[in-house]
Amino acid sequence: MPDATGLELIRGEVEAAHPGAVLDTGFSQERAVLSIDPAFILPVLTWLREAPGQEYTFLSSLHAADYLPASPRFAVHYELLNRDRVERLRVKALLDDPASPAGGGVGGTAPEDASATGRGGGSPAPTGPAADGMVLPEIDSCVEMFPTAEFQEREVFDFFGIVFKGHPDLTRILLPEDYVGWPQRRDFPVGGEPVTFTYNEKNYG
């Protein structure tokens, strides 16, 4: 992973290319972390993948966290790997909960060149039992850039209710489509009735 000096050099170069993108840097669980404004997620990931000397071309994991009662409440973590240097870097995009009174997003408007990095298109924000009338946090999908993120973004949506704009098929992946709620959120009730997979019951008895 980059050392402290290397991480600050990356921060400076990202800021030069995309002013306002970086919110903070640090180390967590012996991993270098670049915290960014979610409006810049695609430009920053593109820069880290393509800039000479960076070349973090492999997305080894995409996952989320709920930091309730902290604000911003959510984070989407992108674990990047430069396989030639065997060097890892975590990009963390912080998201407010728009359903809370203090919600409304982190940072300002998206950069003007976001469309050039694959933003837009794909499926609309989910509605119906999955959304349950809630306003959900949103961030751009990186599937076009990292195809392996397709199922990982669906899993984050399934369990945290984070919408990935531009995802080609943003549906639940482990829970039934009519399931209500986001079970890995920290305010989700513990216990309750077992999940019933009606598709399996109808087709397999």
Domain residues for 42? 4-204
Exposure of 121 in the CB half-sphere (CA atoms within 13 A): 10
pTM above 0.75, yes or no: yes
CATH number at residue 28: 3.30.460.80
The pLDDT assigned to 116 comes to 37
Q: DSSP labels for 50-81?
A: HSTTT---EEEEEEEEE-TTSSS-EEEEEEEE
User: Each residue of 79-130: pLDDT tens digit?
Assistant: 999 999 889 999 999 999 998 766 554 444 444 444 333 333 455 555 444 5
Ranges under pLDDT 70 in the chain: 1, 101-133, 192-205
CA–CA gap between residue 37 and residue 96 (Å, rounded): 11
**Domain total for the chain?**
1
